[in-house]
Structure 1
């Protein structure tokens, strides 16, 4: 089992996939005896590999996370107990950080291991909540995510804040439970932007941002794009709900104020397009709502409101949301391609440096011992060469 877990965690592609199949089969066949062992070993290995995470490893870490979720699905009863223990530990760490604000306590929370644990349990709950009663875990993990967002609310932690909102949106979408995120999203627009120092860069794939990036045009752009993408995802879940006009009112007011204040035309266009799409959907829902004969107390009728339109996926706002997500995927793909190219160039440069250093060392050795065979060193300290010089003189 230890060998299979090691190959699963450290291997790539086929080796990692086949190793996980062995782990899953053992846990499935010998469920009562081996599930705990399989889960504990894979969980520890997953967390261990999340200690130092680089963008080039993101896809592999996602595979490890998805594997853990699939393994948990083998025995939901035991997995839910393990998840409860882990989530309670996350809550204790967060509580310590919120109460003390000490550097070490806060550092534990703003770490790849802590956020990867949250990510794992968010995916586990989302995948299995309809098959097993995981609502106590759901409400606890929501409180933890909100606590993390409160603790790290400054512009430097924009990437972590975005991740928190994405988790909440994912939980809301998979469970069908309304989770308010609009205020948390719109607070991003309140970040104070410093004077542009002209340093390019994109920093959304780490937990916090470099200081110089906070003063760049890229940071301003990332703030605006993130707000639009996150709000679009949130609204898309409820764009066919009978209460959508009420849900969208305050966010539209705040976005309208930002549209009036900003002087950057590209930002104005992005925000105006979003506002127009939301207002169009508000009008659509309001018109349909005025036509229905049932009262708000008729829960069954409320739940069935516009469900045919929702499942068809042909409404204007749904199409707009898809285009927004496609653009986001394209940007992220371009970033990873640039990162991979940069990584390859760096490796080649490092290889050239090592080769040149090795050549200089070899030349230095050969220069000091030119009278000997290449690559040999005198063992008598050069006394023979000194005697020959005296005889010649």
Structure 2
């Protein structure tokens, strides 16, 4: 034991001697520096006064003010800079555990207040480093696998955590810009490139990296949507600094794209604005990653469409189109590649004609990508970079519409016709959309009587394929005919002021008259004849103006024919299409109802852009919002992370799932209609050419064939009995079978039939 004690004393003495040698060398350097300052004061008093005004810390140097950390680490001497918490820190630093390990220094409110005061009054660099060390502790508190012995500070109060987060996120951008001598806002990549060669960047770059890196870490740990939105809104001011750290930049893009695609409330809007700022300020270093990433996330979020997701997908598509406008030459390169991928998928389906090849085309992912690029071409058509994409996109859409020309894919064909109408209107180019639409009116399913009953209203915007029982319902036939009439009117209205309107509308008018003669349904005949009357009236309108003009078809002035009338909307078709659009809007609203929910708040995506943008630009109100967000007593740790956030997310997922199930139950009532086997045989005699092996898009589910007894009960009644029987629902349906007096009468009728 005595030998061990003697060896320990000897080692301690050696360590003390080494510390004395190091301390004496440091003190000698400090005295030498003080002598140099004194000589400078004597030789050049004017320069000394200049330093006194602009850099007081350099002149106040003494032999005790020695920083063991060369540049950026915070040591105890720096934290003892202010007298308010010096004694507290000294007491905590001298305390030790029983096993000899030093205890962590607990950060208190008084310490944080003293750092903030020192930063505001003296712009103390030591206080900045201290609060950044505290910020790192707050961001990493409770991390799994962290070496707790290496952590010098700890936070045990949610109030301290809130104060640190609020101050750092709210004011650190301005502090860093002041240290680096940058403008208070804005900046470009070139500014950071020039800054990286300066002495200020060498001294303070680690502070910038620490701020951005720790903020990214805490973003990955957060689960509350409001906290993430507030943090991203504050970090958006400092996004220009990411130009100096390519690795951090890629990580930020990945995290922000995840929030944009999966977030609720205002989080997608805030994430998109952050991403857009990165593309504008940093430019070519992040454009490729942003364009590829946002397109990939869009595709991942549009696999399925229903009334609940329709507006959300439209919002995501608008964000992609807006981001492409930041750099159109670069966007054209990516758009060309992605449109070419769609063309190759369609070519494979046309050549192989297999089930898998058709499935790749006739799915929501493919159709939504066509919708996206249609919107992009229509938005940037006037730009020379995007105009060449209109022709190949038109060819792809036409090929998709004609791939499987059956009535079951009527909704998909109608969507393609709408896309072609949009491209034609934006590019002012004639596309023969009427041929595609009028072929749909000649399908035999629209000329047969509705043997499937009235049926439930069909929302053609949310489906790509319908099942065979739905084809025979009156509601589906009405939706098809009215939609075709609307799109034909839209197509012809685009050319209602053309000098060649009579020639363009001749063949569509002939085919519409043929349909009106062949159909046996009065409401369809009335609708089509009204459109024919408007076409004839518009032909008289243009012919009357053309007879008084001496224009030739080859004259360039023919494009300006009836330009004044076009601005005032005087043509008969223009007045007719206004009523048609209003009727279509009312029908869509009646079908969708009030069940369309975007995220957690129905108005978040409509009003969120302007509100978030104003908050980000003005900066007013951010502190109040942040105080409300971080005052939820959320302290990042194992206990709080595993309880409160997960419970809330589970609750939200459950509520969202219940809402989707309710909407799906309301939409799929038509599919519960089961026809007898005889009716299936009669209906399928004329459908031998129908490609029935193409899988559905998820909106229609195949029902099992009814047993023999049930099919016998559901057979057609005798000729003398005109009353149609409504079949009962199966066990999987959520609606009850009819009961009461009416159901008893049906049972008696079924017994008589059998």
Q: TM-score range by the shorter chain?
A: 0.7 to 0.9
Cα pair distance change 1:348/1:323, threshold 3 Å: closer
Deviation (angstroms), 1:46: 0.5
Aligned to 2:270: 18
**Match 1:134 to one of 355, 380, 386:** 386
**Match 2:360 to one of 108, 129, 141:** 108
Deviation (angstroms), 1:297: 1.7
Query: Superposition pairs for residues 1-393 of structure 1, below 5 Å?
Result: 1-193=253-445, 194=448, 195-198=450-453, 200-201=455-456, 202-204=458-460, 205-299=462-556, 301-337=557-593, 344=659, 347=662
Deviation (angstroms), 1:314: 3.3
- Deviation string 1:339-370 (CA, Å, 9 cap, x unpaired) is 559x85954999xxxxxxxxxxxxxxxxxxxx
Looking at structure 1, the residues matched to 539 and 662 of structure 2 have their Cα atoms a distance apart, in angstroms, of 53
Secondary structure of the structure 1 residue equivalent to 2:494: helix
Aligned to 2:163: none
Looking at structure 1, the residues matched to 404 and 439 of structure 2 have their Cα atoms a distance apart, in angstroms, of 12
Are the counterparts in 2 of residues 9 and 46 from structure 1 also a CA contact under 8 Å?
Answer: yes
Deviation (angstroms), 1:54: 2.3
Are the counterparts in 1 of residues 377 and 389 from structure 2 also a CA contact under 8 Å?
Answer: yes
- Deviation string 1:105-124 (CA, Å, 9 cap, x unpaired) is 11000011111111111111
Secondary structure of the structure 1 residue equivalent to 2:385: coil
Cα pair distance change 1:298/1:38, threshold 3 Å: same
Are the counterparts in 2 of residues 199 and 212 from structure 1 also a CA contact under 8 Å?
Answer: no
Count of aligned residue pairs for this structure pair: 348
Deviation (angstroms), 1:198: 1.6
After TM superposition, the score normalised by the length of structure 1 is: 0.85
- Deviation string 1:221-245 (CA, Å, 9 cap, x unpaired) is 1221022111011011100000001
Secondary structure of the structure 1 residue equivalent to 2:570: coil
Deviation (angstroms), 1:273: 1.0
Aligned to 2:613: none
- Deviation string 1:123-173 (CA, Å, 9 cap, x unpaired) is 111111211233432111111111101102110001100011001000000
Are the counterparts in 1 of residues 332 and 385 from structure 2 also a CA contact under 8 Å?
Answer: no
Secondary structure of the structure 1 residue equivalent to 2:559: helix
Cα pair distance change 1:323/1:47, threshold 3 Å: same
Looking at structure 1, the residues matched to 307 and 289 of structure 2 have their Cα atoms a distance apart, in angstroms, of 30
After TM superposition, the score normalised by the length of structure 2 is: 0.45
Structure 1 portions without partners, runs of 5+: 351-393
RMSD: 2.0
Looking at structure 2, the residues matched to 176 and 192 of structure 1 have their Cα atoms a distance apart, in angstroms, of 34
Structure 2 portions without partners, runs of 5+: 1-252, 598-657, 666-754
Secondary structure of the structure 2 residue equivalent to 1:207: coil
Structure showing the higher helix proportion among its residues: 1
Deviation (angstroms), 1:315: 2.8
Looking at structure 1, the residues matched to 492 and 330 of structure 2 have their Cα atoms a distance apart, in angstroms, of 35
Looking at structure 2, the residues matched to 116 and 30 of structure 1 have their Cα atoms a distance apart, in angstroms, of 30
Are the counterparts in 2 of residues 126 and 170 from structure 1 also a CA contact under 8 Å?
Answer: yes
Aligned to 1:356: none
Looking at structure 2, the residues matched to 167 and 92 of structure 1 have their Cα atoms a distance apart, in angstroms, of 20
Are the counterparts in 1 of residues 329 and 385 from structure 2 also a CA contact under 8 Å?
Answer: no
Looking at structure 2, the residues matched to 333 and 4 of structure 1 have their Cα atoms a distance apart, in angstroms, of 34
- Deviation string 1:9-50 (CA, Å, 9 cap, x unpaired) is 122342211211111111111111111111111111100011
Deviates more, 1:220-229 or 1:177-186: 220-229
Specify which structure has the bigger relative contact order, considering alpha-carbon pairs within 8 angstroms and separated by 6 or more residues. Answer: 2
Are the counterparts in 1 of residues 459 and 591 from structure 2 also a CA contact under 8 Å?
Answer: no
Deviation (angstroms), 1:203: 4.5
Secondary structure of the structure 2 residue equivalent to 1:82: helix
Looking at structure 1, the residues matched to 527 and 264 of structure 2 have their Cα atoms a distance apart, in angstroms, of 40
Deviates more, 1:197-206 or 1:155-164: 197-206
Looking at structure 2, the residues matched to 96 and 349 of structure 1 have their Cα atoms a distance apart, in angstroms, of 33
Are the counterparts in 2 of residues 199 and 213 from structure 1 also a CA contact under 8 Å?
Answer: no
Looking at structure 1, the residues matched to 260 and 569 of structure 2 have their Cα atoms a distance apart, in angstroms, of 38
Looking at structure 1, the residues matched to 523 and 660 of structure 2 have their Cα atoms a distance apart, in angstroms, of 33
Looking at structure 2, the residues matched to 332 and 290 of structure 1 have their Cα atoms a distance apart, in angstroms, of 42
Looking at structure 2, the residues matched to 282 and 179 of structure 1 have their Cα atoms a distance apart, in angstroms, of 19
Looking at structure 1, the residues matched to 463 and 333 of structure 2 have their Cα atoms a distance apart, in angstroms, of 31
Looking at structure 1, the residues matched to 297 and 389 of structure 2 have their Cα atoms a distance apart, in angstroms, of 23
